[in-house]
Amino acid sequence: HSVAVLGAPFSKGQKRGGVENGPKAIRDAGLIERLSHLDYPVHDFGDLSFQHLEKDEPYMHVPFPRTVGRANKLLSGAVSNAVGAGHTTIMLGGDHSLAIGSVEGHAKQRPDLCLIWVDAHADINTPFTSPSGNLHGQSVAFMLKELQNKMPELPGFSWVKPFLSAKDLVYIGLRDVDPGEYDILKDLGVQYFTMRDIDRLGIQRVMEVTFDHLLSRKQRPIHLSFDIDAMDPSLAPATGTPVNGGLTYREGIWITEEIHNTGLLSVMDLVEVNPDLGASREAVESTASMAVDVIASALGQTREG
């Protein structure tokens, strides 16, 4: 089948400018060229254009709720259309609040989807538990049915009905989880692999257990939401919330090669590349190049030629 690339130049899920330039940085690193060498057509849908709403006062300590909610409603429609047209869809961020629209739009077409969240962070704070208020750290909380009674009615998000069960989610790469998030993960019994788990089990075993957890009862579409900050900051320094002790290049590529080999990848997010935060041009280029390698290997690029 074919691949659709969709840019989402958006930054209001957090406070550091520049992540809206992520899609351009990833494209400039040669994404479309690299994908065109794989064996299916690539459709570049270009970048969405998001409105910045004038009046958008914080709700509790959550900045820009209406702008973030509106952006995700637009993204949801775009992802739903791309998946509905039969494309394997790549969403380029932009900050990780965009996963709300990306996964919701995917689930409109494929309600049986499962979600693999590769990230240093759990992004499962509610507005009540979030230390920052930033919505890029709350994305998963909007998706889970089990958290419905823990979420306030955030302005701009009335269109989001929780659509995912905790058992349909697996985290890989966690190493910076807030206390409130830890309580939620434990209460809901979410399956997660921290960097310590990866050190103990090895990435091959982590992927075996992940697929057994998500796919053993029945095969179903995979949504991969890949935060570039899952990678070690030495490989992806140009990002908003870097955390030491991340995935090696080979661990990251093992994850995406194994997901490709299931034949079930349906939508992939690649988020949090912030070209303004690289200390040098090389730092920006290595971050964007890492993003291209991760996407290309999820779509079938192999190391054995």
Which lies closer to ligand 1EE via its Cβ, residue 18 or residue 300?
A: 18
Contact 137, 130 (CB under 8 A): yes
Catalytic residue status for 95: no
- Could you tell me the smallest distance in angstroms from the CB atom of residue 268 to ligand 1EE? 15
Give the CB-side neighbour count of residue 27, counting CA atoms within 13 A: 19
Whether 96 sits among the annotated catalytic residues: the reply is yes
Which of 27, 68, 19 lies closest to 45, judged by CA? 27
Are the C-beta atoms of 246 and 140 separated by less than 8 Å? no
Q: Is 104 in the site for Mn ion (CB under 5 A)?
A: no
Catalytic-labelled residue, pool 20, 104, 119, 269: 119
Contact residue for ligand 1EE among 20, 104, 168, 176 (CB under 6 A): 176
Judged by CB under 6 A, the chain residues 81 through 140 that form the site for ligand 1EE are: 96, 119, 121, 123, 125, 130-132, 134, 136-137
Binding pattern for the stretch 210-229 against Mn ion, x by CB under 5 A and - elsewhere: -----------------x-x
Name the residue nearer to Mn ion (CB basis): 76 or 138: 138
Active site residue 44: no
Least distance to Mn ion, CB of residue 136, Å: 6
Asked if 136 is an active-site residue, the reply is yes
- Of the residues 136, 181, 223, 293, which is catalytic? 136
Contact 58, 189 (CB under 8 A): no
- Strand (E) positions, the chain? 2-7, 42-47, 87-92, 114-118, 169-174, 191-194, 222-227, 265-271
CB 190 within 8 A of CB 166: yes
Hunting for tokens 């330039």 — which residue is that? 21
The DSSP line for 51-97 is PPPS----BTTBSSHHHHHHHHHHHHHHHHHHHHTTEEEEEE-S-GG
DSSP 152: -
> What's the min distance (Å) between Cβ of 119 and Mn ion?
4
**287 contributes a contact to ligand 1EE by CB under 6 A:** no
Q: 270-288 burial string, b = 16+ CB within 10 Å, else e?
A: bbbbbbbbbeeeebbbbbb
Is the distance from CB of 79 to CB of 8 less than 8 angstroms? no
Nearer to Mn ion by Cβ, of 70 and 121: the residue is 121
Beta carbon of residue 299, minimum distance to ligand 1EE (angstroms, whole number):
22
* Phi, psi of 257, rounded to the nearest 5 degrees: -65, -45
| Residue 243 C-beta: closest distance to ligand 1EE, Å | 8
52 tagged catalytic: no
Under rule CB under 5 A, residue 119 binds Mn ion: yes
Residue 17 touches ligand 1EE, criterion: CB under 6 A: no
Residues belonging to the active site: 96, 119, 121, 123, 136, 227, 229, 272
Interface residue list for ligand 1EE (CB under 6 A): 96, 119, 121, 123, 125, 130-132, 134, 136-137, 176, 178, 227, 229, 240-241, 272
The residues that touch Mn ion, with contacts defined as CB under 5 A, are 96, 119-121, 123, 227, 229
